[in-house]
Amino acid sequence: MIRSLAACACLVLAMVLQIWRDQGFPRRELDTQKVLYVRSPEVLKRLVLGFDALAADVYWIRAIQHYGGDRLDSGLPRRYELLYPLLDMTTSLDPYFNIAYRFGAIFLSEAYPGGPGRPDQAVAILRKGIAAQPGKWQYYHDIAFVHYFSMRDPVAAATWFRRAAAQPGAPNWLMPVAAAMLTQGSDRTSARFLWQQMLGADQEWLRRRATHALLQLDALDQIDRLQALIGSTPKPPGESYNWFWLVRSGRLLGVPLDPSGTPYELDPVTGRVTVAQRSLLFPLPKPMDPR
């Protein structure tokens, strides 16, 4: 009895000594979270002997914790350097791990300091997903988003949206989005081409949308021509911009109407042509600033 108590007392003493020593000599934490013991997916696949999906789950949890940990960590410089390797491992172990590709891409493309800001890695991981499951339209869609949001390249985004739309089971709003992207990227020819294809669609709302979009494209073209016209006609000094001196100078036959029949507005100060607010075509799609 005494001996049992003595044994417990010694153990408690050992613990107390450990706490006291740790306080006096804090140990450098080997940052185990940041160590990736096995870097090669092929090796790991063999090591886990058929329990690939479970190992994938473990790496997925590690990926989330790594991302969350670095994101929430207000101290050390955050580099998220293990995020792509962990996601790569996860998806190599389980190529059907849908969420790993999709959320992974979101995390990877998130701009610094919220994330590593690596849209190229996001695209890479999604392409891996496509290699494993070529028919999954969501992966193409996600790549398109990465191009649009992170890389500010709406034309590339449109290409990927079109590819997504071509996959089996793809929803029918992908094509309109592709076309809208092209317009944003100032590639009106391709946009027009896409919208014209949609004029023959089954759904009523799609046909109306296409018609509307085509009119907007026409409006944009007209605005460009009007803008060029204004630029090339010398303005009488002291006057603000208006349509009448253009008409008087013979360049225009009358106040120009937009394709929906509403007159264009000319800003008196800047000389910029826009559609009227009350026009059916308002607002016109704006081109995206490449960054």
**Which residues contact another protein (rule: CB under 8 A)?**
46, 49-54, 56-57, 60-61, 64-65, 94, 96-99, 103
The token pair at 114 is 């919220």
Smaller CB separation from another protein, 110 or 153? 110
Number of Cβ atoms within 10 Å of the Cβ of 282 = 15
Smaller CB separation from another protein, 51 or 244? 51
Shortest spacing between CB 163 and another protein, in angstroms:
22
Instruction: Tell me how far apart the alpha carbons of residues 162 and 175 are, in angstroms, rounded to a whole number.
Output: 6
Shortest spacing between CB 97 and another protein, in angstroms:
8
| CB of 115 closer than 8 Å to CB of 108 | yes
Shortest spacing between CB 117 and another protein, in angstroms:
20
Shortest spacing between CB 141 and another protein, in angstroms:
15
| CB of 134 closer than 8 Å to CB of 96 | no
Smaller CB separation from another protein, 56 or 165? 56
Instruction: Tell me how far apart the alpha carbons of residues 228 and 62 are, in angstroms, rounded to a whole number.
Output: 57
Instruction: Tell me how far apart the alpha carbons of residues 262 and 222 are, in angstroms, rounded to a whole number.
Output: 13
Smaller CB separation from another protein, 93 or 220? 93
Smaller CB separation from another protein, 98 or 260? 98
Shortest spacing between CB 232 and another protein, in angstroms:
57
Query: Distance from first CA to last CA of the chain, Å, rounded?
Result: 77
Smaller CB separation from another protein, 102 or 209? 102
Smaller CB separation from another protein, 107 or 243? 107
Nearest to 178 by CA among 136, 203, 205, 143: 143
Nearest to 136 by CA among 183, 101, 93, 88: 101
Shortest spacing between CB 49 and another protein, in angstroms:
5
Instruction: Tell me how far apart the alpha carbons of residues 121 and 5 are, in angstroms, rounded to a whole number.
Output: 59
Shortest spacing between CB 90 and another protein, in angstroms:
11
- Collapsed DSSP state (helix, strand, coil) of residue 265: strand
Q: Which residue is it, tokens 């994938």?
A: 56
Distance set, CA 262 to CA 53, 85, 257, 272, 284 (Å): 61, 56, 5, 16, 14
The token pair at 184 is 């944003």
